[in-house]
Amino acid sequence: MTALPSSTRVAVIGGGFTGLSAAWELARAGVAVTVLEADAELGGLAGAFDVQGHKLDRFYHHWFTNDLEVMTLIDELGLHDRVSINPTNTGVWYGNHFFKLSTPMDLLRFTPLPMADRVRLGLLALRARKVENWMELEHKTASQWLKELGGEKVYRVVWEPLLKGKFGAVADQISAVWFWNKLKLRGGSRGKGGEERLAYFKGGFVALAEAMAEGIRAAGGQVLTSTAVHRFTPQTGGCFRLETSAGELVAEQLIATPALPLIADMAEDWAPAPWLAQMRRINYLSNVCLVLELERSLSTTYWLNVNDPTFPFVAVIEHTNFERPSDYGGRHIVYLSRYLPHTDAMYSMSADEMLAFATPWLKKMFPAFDPAWVLKHHVWRARYSQPVVEQHYSNLIPASEGPAPGLTIASMAQIYPEDRGTNYAVREGRKAGRAVAQKL
């Protein structure tokens, strides 16, 4: 492991895609930069684990074909051949039945809605994509806006279960802007036949993070893992002193990329109370993800939205209907995802408890499923997974400039009107890195 230096021109807290992208810009500009990642592995929410000698994302990931920021970065790294783009099968579980929803023709066959409402549902996506000024939606909730566009029945059957499945008790607070961006993004990632096309990085998203780290090191920067930052303090003369698990580091400039409340905790000793309160104002949902390694497939669907409010998971994602099972030693990979408050009992379940809890629901959805199919199972948790994007969210976002000169805040909660994701993490990280490089 590389030793912690005593000083650096720029310290970057966090080795996720935002932090690595900032460091990538700085290192290429010839600025001495040190990335400090608390985890033993890079990638943040895109971290990975081992399956039969292959890396697999802890939480399900893909890109849309119109995610240009990350695609540009991949080209710069010379790794375009590692990207696979495939049409995907998506569907909905509603009323104890499966419905395919991958193409416009599938939509016309969606019998839970009368034909007139199926047409309204199809037009809704088109109308949403025509919205040019998202600020006009900031005062509306997603539920209000979706009802306006598609009517009460379309909302009740299609959108309400997804909103409540994702956001639970705070579903009625979610901004129309958040949902508009989801519809716009998915609508722009389709092939000529209307089928959704998605992209994946061979070897898992962590392989891209590691390639970025190699590039940073090759340009003279440092990337340190297992190095947690406990606090940072501005010093006389305009630099920062960072107290880490590996010792102290002095930096001229500081870019902080973790969740906003974590950054506030690191600055608790000196930062103004109003700024600390703003950093802690945005609410976050946690995520718990049960990952199954199966000896056989559950279905032919990649992404199955669960439009059943009694079902404890918002989606069933069979990753190996997107990537080949042979990439994981012939095993079929299934993710069961749930967003929830970190105080929910489900968040603290062990892997065995989670599997026992999920098995009856899997049997209900897939009657042929046998627990003996499960070769291995894992549970992964993320405390700060999804910022709760409320009405007038733009007023809640803290500025990128912190309360001390030289402090830059670049967190996924500041990605707006887009939602969190590696594409926008890359965009915001590069923007922060370029801005700091220009200062220096």
pLDDT, tens digit, for every residue of 228-242? 999 999 998 889 999
- 61: closest CA among 397, 369, 380, 362? 380
Q: What is the pLDDT of residue 214?
A: 96
Domains and CATH numbers, the chain: 7-61+204-282+397-439 (3.50.50.60), 86-197 (no CATH), 284-387 (3.90.660.20)
Residue 239 phi/psi, 5-degree rounding, is -105, 180
**Cβ-based neighbour number of residue 84 at 10 Å:** 14
Do the bridges between strand 90-94 and strand 240-244 make them parallel or antiparallel, or are there none, so unpaired? unpaired
Q: List pLDDT tens digits, range 238-294.
A: 899 999 999 999 999 999 999 999 999 999 999 999 999 999 999 999 999 999 999
Decide if 346 contacts 338 (C-beta within 8 A). Answer: yes
Element at 423 (helix H, strand E):
helix 422-439
Residue 286 makes CB contacts below 8 A (sequence gap 6+) with 339, 340, 341, 342, 344, 347, 381, 382, 383, 384, 385
pTM greater than 0.85: yes
* 192-224: pLDDT as tens digits: 555 678 899 988 889 999 999 999 999 999 999
What pLDDT score was predicted for residue 62?
Answer: 86
Burial grade of 327 (CB within 10 A; 0-12, 13-18, 19 or more): buried
Q: How far apart, in whole angstroms, are the C-alpha atoms of residue 76 and residue 70?
A: 10
Task: Please state, in angstroms and rounded to a whole number, the distance separating the CA atoms of residues 258 and 425.
Answer: 11
pLDDT value at residue 194: 53
- 330 conformational bin, left if phi > 0, alpha if psi -120 to 50, beta if neither: left
| Helix ranges (DSSP H) in 109-203 | 115-129, 142-150, 152-154, 160-167, 176-187
Q: Under the phi-then-psi rule, with left for phi > 0, alpha for psi from -120 to 50, and beta for the rest, what region is 395?
A: alpha
Residues 334 and 376 sit within 8 Å (Cβ to Cβ)? no
141-192, pLDDT tens digit by residue?
Answer: 999 999 999 999 999 999 999 899 889 889 999 999 999 988 876 554 444 5
- Sign for the pseudo-dihedral over CA of 106, 108, 114, 118: positive
The kind and range of the H/E element at 357 are helix 351-365
pLDDT level of residue 122 (50, 70, 90 thresholds): confident
**Contact indicator for 264, 251 with CB cutoff of 8 Å:** no
